[in-house]
């Protein structure tokens, strides 16, 4: 079993807790401790190499409020950028209950907001009282900027933050929480340099508690450092040299590939060992998120391959099924899919592709629309015998995870519009549509301008096709929507009397 397999299994069992540092945010903020120290030195005109002392000099000269303003300008963002947030995609995919950080920025919070993931932050002891144990929790070891009194940065802050003795009562509640988590679990450090004296003190204490053998933790290195790796073993922290797991790749690509491999392996381990919890929903799912490296690798493959269509579709599914594709990468995946669609020559290939679309998770709705549009245009190239109504329904009823079902008919109208503008006969597509679109109720959920667009292009298309009447002219058909009360009454009426009479 490799290091990555072991980490994945531990994550799947929630026996590793992520701890992320400034390196996770560096691609977004372009800032680390040393760069901030240099900025502070410029303001004080005192060249101090020690980060904590430099911060203390500034605070003593200008005050804590002014220092907080510098941090706010440099550490707070308004929107999360998918293209720069690879480490946070990785953290998000792990779906852990607890995350620890010494960061004071809000990058992970903005990532969670963007992906509609509820969360809470804990930075002061008062927050523990209202903490929801079932909500994703970020423990912010050195405070957060909306609680200026919690910020830990200068030497005095660190002195006040450190316990005065090894007695548990002298520890900050955040320290106690970390100690509690590491009694039965290890830590998974990412984007973290382990330079923080507070964390080193805690791990020294944890090591002492366990008689020198605490639970195994892991640190994913960006740059390999043998001396650092040896030092970390004293805390039972095993460093992951990404270039050893992915030789031949650049440091950047090896790091990216390592995050992806851990995320994917953790997902597979959860599926294999915790099916009951997976289907019952008692544990959060680990959903891998694709990286730019993987997306671009598949793009290169699809542009150069001589494989048949079925093989290309299967390779696509092997890489992308049930895995989230970030917004900024969705268009690349969509273009690769459209290349595959263009090569399809049979309905069996199209049916295989339909399965791939069902499991596709593009975060960008526009990219999903472009794929479905290409699918319907390709569908127009095939005809099915009049009696094969179920086959026509099957091929037209396509679902893409990130695309609300109400847009299916809108995309169908877009396909009709595109085909008509190019002078292409649309009778094949209308035969698929008429078997699946039941009545005017199919457009009830669309906006008024969208309804107008659909009605117009359906009228044009069905008047041209001639073989079928426009299904949207039917006020009620076998596809009429049924209310919950009607369904309930029908089900109740069908229950045998002997079951109804039971108390």
Per-residue pLDDT at 166: 67
Which has more confidence, 107 or 388?
A: 107
Query: Tens of pLDDT along 133-172?
Result: 889 999 998 888 888 778 888 888 878 877 777 676 777 8
Average per-residue pLDDT in the chain?
A: 85
What's the pLDDT at 66?
Answer: 87
At residue 284 the predicted structure's pLDDT band, cuts being 50, 70 and 90, is: low
Per-residue model confidence (pLDDT) at position 306:
94
**pLDDT at residue 211 tops 80:** no
Kindly list the distances between the CA atom of residue 74 and the CA atoms of 30, 40, 460, in Å, as whole numbers in the listed order: 9, 12, 56
Give the residue-averaged pLDDT of 178-194: 87
- 50, 49, 67: which is closest to 58 by C-alpha? 67
Taking the C-alpha atoms of residue 482 and residue 404, their distance in angstroms, rounded to an integer, is 20
How far is residue 406's CA from residue 43's CA, in Å, rounded to a whole number? Answer: 57
Backbone angles phi, psi at 49, to 5 degrees: -80, -25
Over range 319-336, report the average pLDDT. Answer: 92
Which residues lie closer than 8 Å to 413 by C-beta, 6 or more apart?
453, 454, 457, 458
Section 388-411 average pLDDT: 81
Q: Can you give the pLDDT at residue 258?
A: 96
Q: Which of 440, 502, 494, 503 is nearest to 471 (CA)?
A: 440
Instruction: Average the pLDDT over 63-88 and give the result.
Output: 91
62 vs 76: CA distance, rounded Å: 21
411 falls in which pLDDT band (50, 70, 90)? very high
Asked if residue 479 lies in contact with residue 438, where contact means CB atoms within 8 angstroms, the answer is yes
Tell me the pLDDT band of 475, cut-offs 50, 70 and 90: low
Q: What confidence score (pLDDT) does residue 188 get?
A: 95
The reported pLDDT for the residue numbered 435 is 78
Q: Which residues of 456-476 are buried (b: 16+ CB within 10 A; e: fewer)?
A: ebbebbbeebeeeebbbebee
Q: What's the whole-number mean pLDDT along residues 422-427?
A: 89
Segment among 25-39, 231-245, 275-289 with least mean pLDDT: 275-289
Determine the average pLDDT of the residues in 99-117.
Answer: 94
The answer to whether 109 and 121 have CB atoms below 8 angstroms apart is yes
Mean pLDDT of 19-46: 90
What is the model's pLDDT at position 52? Answer: 85
- pLDDT given at position 498: 45
Q: Which of 9-13, 215-219, 319-323, 487-491 has the lowest mean pLDDT?
A: 487-491
Confidence of residue 499 (pLDDT cuts 50, 70, 90): very low
pLDDT at res. 113: 95
Q: Which of 242-251, 347-356, 411-420, 481-490 has the lowest mean pLDDT?
A: 481-490
> Are the C-beta atoms of 89 and 326 separated by less than 8 Å?
yes
pLDDT > 90 in the chain, percent: 44
pLDDT at residue 346 greater than cutoff 70: yes
Per-residue pLDDT of 362-393, as tens digits, reads 999 999 999 999 999 999 998 877 667 677 77
The 3 state secondary structure assigned to 358-415 is: HCCEECCHHHHHHHHHHHHHHHCCCCCCCCCHHHHHHHHCCCCCCCCHHHHHHHHHHH
| Lowest model confidence (mean pLDDT) among 45-59, 435-449, 489-503 | 489-503
pLDDT band with cut points at 50, 70 and 90 for residue 302 = very high
pLDDT digits (tens, 9 = 90+) for 49-67: 888 899 899 999 998 888 8
Residue 483 pLDDT class (50, 70, 90 cuts): low
Q: What integer is the mean pLDDT of 203-209?
A: 77
Average pLDDT (221-238) is: 90
Task: Tell me what the mean pLDDT of segment 171-182 comes to.
Answer: 85
| Average confidence (pLDDT) over 339-358 | 90
Give 77's Cβ-side CA count (13 Å radius).
Answer: 21
Cα distance between residue 83 and residue 100, in whole Å? 23
**Mutual angle of helices 408-421 and 427-436, in 10-degree steps:** 160
Residues in the chain: 503
Q: What is the mean pLDDT of residues 433-455?
A: 83
Q: How far apart are CA 255 and CA 263, in angstroms?
A: 13
3-state secondary structure of 61: helix
> Which has more confidence, 404 or 332?
332
Calpha distance 421→469 (Å, rounded): 21
**Token pair recorded at residue 15:** 């026996």
Residue 417: its pLDDT value, please? Answer: 93
> What percent of the chain has a predicted confidence (pLDDT) above 70?
89
Tokens of 281: 């929903």
Query: Is 181 in contact with 213 (CB distance < 8 Å)?
Result: no
């Amino acid at each position: 079993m490799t290091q990555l397999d072991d980490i994945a299994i531990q994550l799947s069992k929630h026996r590793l807790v992520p701890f992320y540092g400034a390196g996770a945010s560096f691609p977004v903020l372009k800032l680390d401790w040393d760069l901030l120290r240099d900025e502070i030195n410029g303001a004080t005109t005192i060249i101090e190499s020690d980060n904590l002392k430099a911060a203390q000099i500034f605070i003593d000269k200008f005050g804590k409020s002014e220092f907080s303003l510098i941090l706010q300008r440099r550490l707070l963002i308004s929107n999360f950028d998918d293209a720069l947030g690879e480490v946070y995609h990785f953290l998000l995919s792990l779906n852990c209950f607890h995350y620890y950080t010494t960061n004071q920025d809000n990058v992970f919070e903005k990532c969670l907001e963007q992906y509609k993931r509820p969360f809470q932050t804990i930075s002061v002891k008062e927050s523990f009282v209202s903490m929801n144990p079932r909500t994703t929790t970020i423990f912010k070891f050195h405070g957060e900027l909306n609680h200026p009194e919690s910020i830990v940065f200068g030497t005095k802050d660190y002195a006040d933050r450190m316990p005065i003795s090894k007695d548990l009562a002298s520890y900050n509640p955040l320290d106690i929480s970390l100690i509690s988590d590491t009694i039965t679990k290890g830590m998974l450090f990412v984007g973290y340099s382990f330079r923080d004296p507070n964390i080193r003190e805690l791990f020294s204490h944890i090591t002492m508690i366990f008689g020198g053998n605490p639970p195994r933790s892991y640190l994913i290195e960006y740059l390999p450092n043998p001396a650092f790796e040896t030092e970390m073993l004293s805390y039972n922290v095993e460093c992951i040299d990404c270039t050893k797991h992915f030789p031949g790749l650049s440091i950047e690509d090896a790091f990216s590939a390592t995050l992806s491999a851990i995320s994917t392996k953790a997902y597979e381990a959860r599926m294999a060992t915790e099916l009951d919890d997976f289907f019952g929903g008692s544990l959060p799912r680990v959903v891998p998120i694709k990286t730019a490296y993987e997306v671009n690798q598949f793009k290169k493959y699809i542009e150069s391959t001589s494989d048949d269509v079925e093989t290309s579709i299967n390779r696509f599914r092997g890489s992308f099924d049930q895995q989230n594709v970030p917004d900024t990468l969705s268009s690349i995946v969509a273009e690769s899919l459209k290349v595959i669609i263009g090569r399809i020559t049979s309905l069996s290939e199209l049916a295989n592709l339909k399965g791939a679309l069902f499991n596709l998770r593009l975060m960008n709705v526009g990219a999903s629309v472009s794929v479905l549009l290409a699918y319907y245009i390709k569908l127009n190239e095939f005809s099915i015998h009049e009696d094969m109504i179920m086959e026509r329904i099957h091929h037209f009823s396509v679902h893409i995870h990130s695309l609300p079902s109400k847009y299916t008919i809108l995309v169908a109208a877009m396909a009709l519009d595109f085909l008509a503008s190019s002078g292409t006969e649309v009778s094949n597509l209308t035969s698929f549509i008429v078997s699946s679109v039941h009545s005017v109720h199919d457009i009830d959920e669309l906006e008024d301008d969208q309804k107008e667009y659909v009605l117009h292009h359906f009228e044009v298309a069905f008047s041209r096709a001639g073989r079928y009447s426009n299904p949207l002219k039917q006020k009620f058909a076998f596809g009429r929507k049924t209310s919950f009360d009607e369904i309930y009454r029908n089900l109740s009426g069908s229950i045998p009397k002997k079951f109804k009479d039971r108390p």
